Structures are given as structure tokens and as C-alpha cells.
Chains A and B, each alone.
Chain A
Amino acid sequence: MLVFRRQAGESFLVGDHVEVRILEVNRGQVKIGVVAPREVGIYRSEVSRLNRRSAVEDLKQPEVQSALAALGKAFRERKDQ
């Protein structure tokens, strides 16, 4: 566990995008503010929605097989970039 000290008014980052601010310390209580850009959450949910669409559960399905075969062929026919 990472342990460090902050004073009221100071902040620290969790990861690259989430900032935690210590707003006020008063009689054993700590008031905390969390700042996370709205876009980060939106992008994450977009990626997870897409991942669920991309996941293939049954490779043996004929539609899946033919889509994969066509796509593989298209990639092979391209010049190696």
C-alpha cells in the first residue's frame, strides 16, 4: 500500500485522469473531492460496449466462419504495410 501525506487544499492523481483533492480536514473528518473528466467514463463505456460486440462465442457458426474467412483473405491480399 502506498502511504503519503497531503494537507487540505492539496491533491493527488489516481492513474492519469482521476484527481483526488483534500478539501478540508476538520476534527477527524476529511472532506474529499474527486475530479474525473466525463470523457474518460464515456470512452471506457464505448470501448466496453464494442468489446461485447466483438467477442465471438461460437467460432463454428457459418456466418462467423465466412465473415472471418473473407476478412482474412482481404488482409492477405493487401500489401504488407
Chain B
Amino acid sequence: MKASKSLRAPPRPPLSVIHFPEGLPGFENHTHFTLVQEEELQPIVFLLSLVDPGIQFPVVPIQKIHQNYQLQLSEEDRRTLVLAGEPVVGENLLCLAILTLGDGTQPATANLFAPIVVNLESWMAKQVILFNSNYSVTAEV
């Protein structure tokens, strides 16, 4: 019997697994995620749960929304992220805002108060809550 090549799926690049030791608020058991891109929706990407791939969050790099975004990490945040050096967004850190889609009556918003922070060296991540900031959980985009 001849093996049919066309039936085989094309090889996919390996997924980068992002580890959230604490999960996300409301999704505490979702500890492993990956980022998925869809070309036509850029710069929006999807944070896809590897615990339940039915759960995904649309996210966008925070600098697309706020030019001079101030990310203040606490000691606890740094420990969770296993962050050794100085945090520099775009270099050793990825900082993403979760988007909430509009529904006709409400506009789409971005959560600037609780960004997703990924350490690009350790792939440890956390949804950081900036308790002392004035950023909105529902900033209009």
C-alpha cells in the first residue's frame, strides 16, 4: 500500500509554552498557555489555554494602546516571573493587554490595570495587578 503524502499535516513549529504558576484570576487552573497568531488579525494575538484549548484571550502588545505605559512590578511579581535583571518591555519582557470585545452596545476595551507579563527568558508569566496605578481595567481602544 502506498502512503499518501497529502494526508499528512504539514509540520508545525513547536509551540512556546508559557507557564502561569498562579493561572489567571478567574482561571486559576489554567497554568499553561501559548500565543497563537492569525495573520489577518495582527497585531491581535491569542493567548490560548493548553489546559482547555476552548479558552483563549485576545491580547495586544500594550505599547499599541499606551505609548508611555508604566509597568511597576512588585517583588512578588518578580519572584513569580523569575526575573533577575531590570525589566525592559520588548527586550526581556512581553507586556500584553487583554481585550474585551465590544458587542454592539458596549465598545471594545483593553485591560491596562492588569496586564499579562511574560518573561521571555524563563517563559514564566503572570497577570500582574497594578494596585497602585490609575490605569483602567476597561480602557477604550
Residues of A within 8 A of B (CB): 15-17, 39-40, 43-57, 59, 63-64, 67-69, 71-72, 74-76, 78, 80-81
Interchain CB contact under 8 A, A68 and B41 = yes
Q: Given A17-B131, A56-B56, A57-B54, are A72 and B137 also a contact pair (CB < 8 Å)?
A: no
Interchain CB contact under 8 A, A53 and B100 = yes
Q: Please give the distance in Å from A8's CB to the nearest CB on chain B.
A: 26
Interface stretch among B5-13, B85-93, B107-115, B117-125? B107-115
- Contacting residues, chain A, for B138 (C-beta < 8 A): 50
Which of A43, A59, A78 touches B129 (beta carbons < 8 Å)?
A43
Q: How far is the CA of A56 from the CA of B25 in the complex (A)?
A: 15
Residue of B nearest to A59 (CB): B56
The answer to whether the Cβ of B18 comes within 8 Å of any Cβ in the partner chain is no
The answer to whether the Cβ of B51 comes within 8 Å of any Cβ in the partner chain is no
- Contacting residues, chain B, for A76 (C-beta < 8 A): 42-43
Residues of B within 8 A of A (CB): 24-27, 40-44, 46, 54-58, 60, 63-67, 74-76, 98-103, 108, 111, 113-114, 127, 129, 131, 137-138, 141
Interchain CB contact under 8 A, B74 and A47 = no
Pairs across A and B, CB under 8 Å, 6 listed: A17-B131, A39-B131, A43-B129, A48-B25, A55-B57, A71-B99
Q: Please give the distance in Å from B42's CB to the nearest CB on chain A.
A: 6
Interchain CB contact under 8 A, A47 and B64 = no
- Contacting residues, chain B, for A44 (C-beta < 8 A): 25, 129
Q: Given A67-B101, A69-B41, A75-B43, are A51 and B141 also a contact pair (CB < 8 Å)?
A: no
Interchain CB contact under 8 A, B57 and A51 = yes
Q: Please give the distance in Å from A74's CB to the nearest CB on chain B.
A: 7
Q: How far is the CA of A75 from the CA of B108 in the complex (A)?
A: 12
Q: How far is the CA of A5 from the CA of B55 in the complex (A)?
A: 43
